[in-house]
Amino acid sequence: MNKQAPLMGEMTAKQRLAVSRQLLSNSINEPLWASLARLYIRRGLKKLEAKSQSDRAANGRTRV
């Protein structure tokens, strides 16, 4: 069998495995409260982003 060199920017199977193990290790070591806090922060940021987009779409019109 011919072994082909991976293309630039592509990860090998060993690299993908190492990355997934590292991510799993990080998620296991993190306290549950920190995971929940990050989740709520992300949700809040999404809501704020959606609100600012709707405000920009209103082109400065005031809401009553």
Place of tokens 């995971």: 35
- pLDDT digit string, tens, across residues 10-50: 889 999 999 999 988 877 777 888 889 989 999 999 998 88
Q: Please give the pLDDT value at position 28.
A: 79
In the chain, domain spans: 13-57
Residue 20: strand, helix, or coil: helix
pTM listed for this prediction = 0.42
Query: Distance between CA atoms of 27 and 19, rounded to whole angstroms?
Result: 12
